[in-house]
Amino acid sequence: MLPALPSPVPPAFPLPPAELAALTDELSCPETKSPHFKVFDAAAQQAQKQWRALFRWSVFFLLVVSLCSAATGLGPWLVTQNVLSADPRVIRLFDAIGVALTMLGVALEVGLQVYWRRRLTPWVLTRQHAETLRSAAWLYVLDLPLPPGGQPVPAAPADAAWQQWVANLVAAEQRQLNPGGRPQPTLPAVEVEPTPELRAQRNRLRQVGLDDKLGVYCVARLDSQRTYFEKRAEQLRRKAQFWRYVSYGILLAAFGWNSLRLLAIVENWPTVMSFFNFNLFLVIIGSAGLVKAFVETEGLEPLAARYQHMSAALAARRRQCPLAPVTSDVFQFFITESERLLREETTTWSSRHG
């Protein structure tokens, strides 16, 4: 629990820079003091990992399908290599096994696609609720109305209002996930909210002036979020560039393979011509298509652009931070509008994926 100041009366003078910096460090990430946020955040991360794992498996099975389909043309070459018997029944069996494997791969792919879509909803909804709770935690510790409405109230009623708000969020999570028979995280009892640590942060901020409160918010919330979006945008751009290079490499391999086939045809290489019945070109081109589908599904470049836009918007918002002295109306308007801007990013992301 954070130590309280000796007097409940806010000081009439601003805190020294060193004390303000220490206070900012103490009061960063108030949402982590909420057990419900921890559960939502962990559940969203787990759902995201499962969603990505299913997508990778779907790509793997599509590659298996294309390889098995192409391998059915290798029968004559395997006969020349004394790997298969020249008996037509053996060759038909070899082809039948290849076709059966492609059918199995397609069936597994259909199942993965259906389950993949089902796993998307828990990720999106739970992440949306986690980010909504993150925003509300800042409003709670700053003595401001919780979204989407309400009025600032004294300590005890404020705790009750927070508890009711969390209960409504939990009810929304259950209502949105249960009808589809989807799994949902095991949430703690609402009675544990607000935790002593969260109340301590609220009481700590009640004992400093509005100017210092605003300074803490601008650094701990706006600056940290701007840095996050900026770093994520850069990471996504590097990831998109990597997959572009992979795609170029695959296309180069396809070009090389068909160049080799063309040379074999022109030079009339009878000993290896039957090997080229293995249509690796289609497999390679299919792999390039899968890479492109992966990049499009992840939305790497559009997401990087949106994150960069969000970083710029937060930087502009930071520059608009009111100068001291700050009135209560200006304080409330600036912070609620800033939180609305941050929630808009989550809403846009949820709408795109949902």
Report H helices in 72-154.
75-80, 88-141
Residue 179: burial class (beta carbons within 10 Å; 0-12, 13-18, 19+): exposed
- Rounded Cα distance between 174 and 181, Å, is 10
What pLDDT shows up at residue 269?
A: 74
DSSP 209: -
Using only the alpha carbons of the chain, give its radius of gyration: 29
What pLDDT shows up at residue 158?
A: 80
What pLDDT shows up at residue 331?
A: 93
What pLDDT shows up at residue 252?
A: 87
Q: Which two tokens stand for residue 151?
A: 């009025």
What pLDDT shows up at residue 4?
A: 41
Q: Which two tokens stand for residue 149?
A: 């409405």
User: Do residues 317 and 236 touch, judged by C-beta distance below 8 A?
Assistant: no
Q: Is the dihedral of CA 216, 217, 219, 220 positive or negative?
A: positive
Q: 88-141 and 196-206 helices cross at what angle (nearest 10)?
A: 40
What pLDDT shows up at residue 189?
A: 85
What pLDDT shows up at residue 54?
A: 77
Q: What is the pLDDT along the chain (354 residues), one digit of tens a residue?
A: 444 443 344 444 577 778 778 888 888 889 999 999 999 898 888 888 877 787 777 777 777 777 777 777 777 777 777 777 777 787 788 778 877 877 777 777 776 666 666 667 777 788 888 999 999 999 999 989 887 744 445 555 788 889 989 988 888 877 777 655 455 667 888 889 999 999 999 998 888 889 999 999 999 999 999 999 999 999 999 988 998 888 888 888 888 888 887 887 777 776 566 566 666 777 777 777 777 777 777 778 888 898 999 999 999 999 998 887 889 999 999 999 999 999 888 777 666 655
> Is the model's pTM score more than 0.85?
no
| Distances, alpha carbon 256 to alpha carbons 66, 90, 276, 280, in Å | 19, 32, 13, 11
What pLDDT shows up at residue 127?
A: 87
Angle at 45 between CA 44 and CA 50, to 5 degrees: 95
What pLDDT shows up at residue 11?
A: 46
What pLDDT shows up at residue 310?
A: 92
